[in-house]
Amino acid sequence: MDTTSSAPHITGPPSLVELAAATLRRMIVGGDLLCGQRIVENRLTGELGISRPPLREALRVLEREGLVRQVPRKGVIVTPLTLHDIYEICTLRAEFERLAIRLGVPVTDPARRRRCHQALHAMSQAAADGDRPAYLERSFEFHVSIVGLSGHARLEEAYRSLQLQLMLSMALNRRAREEHESLDGDVARHTHLLEIIDTGDPHAVLDALATHGDRSFLDGIEDTVDGHTDVALAWLAQQRTTQQRTTELGTTQSGKTRKETP
């Protein structure tokens, strides 16, 4: 008798490794551990209250995600990024998003749409609580849920890694982001994107994605990182032009709304 298909799926509580990986991930994307910074195991075992074996396994998880790397004679460091690295991360991520929209919009699976709305609700709650670290995590899950509309598991897995690396890039210039846009403003941007997705028009979604991303973390980024290749500098100039146009468009639309309000 074949019993493999009837075996129950057991889901246990998060392991020490999962909890340690989640904590380290939050420290990195939140800017508490910076690019190029050495991971001091003795300090982290004390701060996290765990032994070295689960910590090292957690670091291997983060290494697979591209957030840390092993360096001979130096140990584990937070992945250093160049401007060219950021260019590659952002451009490839954008292509993944466009592919996901082409495959997943209009949405045919209600569960996928529900996942997006639940992720957006979690973002809104974190914003209302003023919990920026939690907000970053909820924002991450929202973007992954958008790619999940494609129903393409390998695409979502690859995107998840790139999105984490993008958040590592953003942590390089966290202050610029915090000064540029409030959490409520960020929620409004994502709400608008999901509203367009719900219309079922993939072309409208692709147009919205072209101007959706907050590029404020790129302000002055060339003074923070090395690796100024010609292609990366050209891309950076283009991103700033797009950000300026988006800001001007938002200001214009806001002015129109005020005039139309009785």
Structure tokens at 200: 């079922």
Q: Alpha helices, DSSP H only, in 65-152?
A: 83-104, 110-129, 132-148
d(CA 171, CA 211): 21
d(CA 40, CA 102): 44
Which of 172-176, 187-191, 208-212, 258-262 holds the top average pLDDT?
187-191
pLDDT at position 242 = 81
pLDDT at position 261 = 46
Nearest-CA neighbor of 106 among 160, 49, 172, 150?
A: 150
Burial of residue 18 (CB within 10 Å: 0-12, 13-18, 19+) is middle
pLDDT at position 130 = 92
What percent of the chain has a predicted confidence (pLDDT) above 70?
85
- Give domain limits for the chain: 16-78, 83-214
pLDDT at position 255 = 55
pLDDT band at 5 (very low <50, low <70, confident <90, very high): very low
Residue 82 CB neighbour total at 10 angstroms:
15
Nearest-CA neighbor of 92 among 157, 169, 158, 154?
A: 158
Name which of 26-40, 110-124, 134-148, 175-189 the model is least confident about: 175-189
Burial of residue 107 (CB within 10 Å: 0-12, 13-18, 19+) is middle
Residue 197 neighbours by CB under 8 Å, 6+ apart:
101, 105, 107, 113, 116, 146, 149, 205
Structure tokens at 45: 């075992």
3-state helix, strand, coil in the chain (%, to 5): 70, 5, 25
Nearest-CA neighbor of 144 among 161, 165, 127, 168?
A: 161
Rounded average pLDDT over 153-176: 87
Higher pLDDT, 3 or 226: 226
Q: Which architecture does CATH list for 83-214? A: Up-down Bundle (1.20)
Largest CA distance in the chain: 73
pLDDT tops 60 at residue 31: yes
pLDDT band at 10 (very low <50, low <70, confident <90, very high): very low
Computed on alpha carbons and rounded to an integer, the radius of gyration of the chain in Å comes to: 20
**Average pLDDT over the chain, rounded to whole?**
87
pLDDT tops 80 at residue 194: yes
Residue 112 CB neighbour total at 10 angstroms:
16
pLDDT at position 247 = 64
pLDDT band at 175 (very low <50, low <70, confident <90, very high): low
Structure tokens at 5: 């298909």
Nearest-CA neighbor of 61 among 105, 23, 9?
A: 23
pLDDT band at 87 (very low <50, low <70, confident <90, very high): very high
Fold of the domain built from segment(s) 16-78:
Arc Repressor Mutant, subunit A (1.10.10)
pLDDT band at 12 (very low <50, low <70, confident <90, very high): very low
d(CA 62, CA 68): 6
Predicted structure pTM score: 0.82
Rounded average pLDDT over 86-109: 96
Segment 66-83, tens digit of pLDDT = 999 999 988 999 999 999
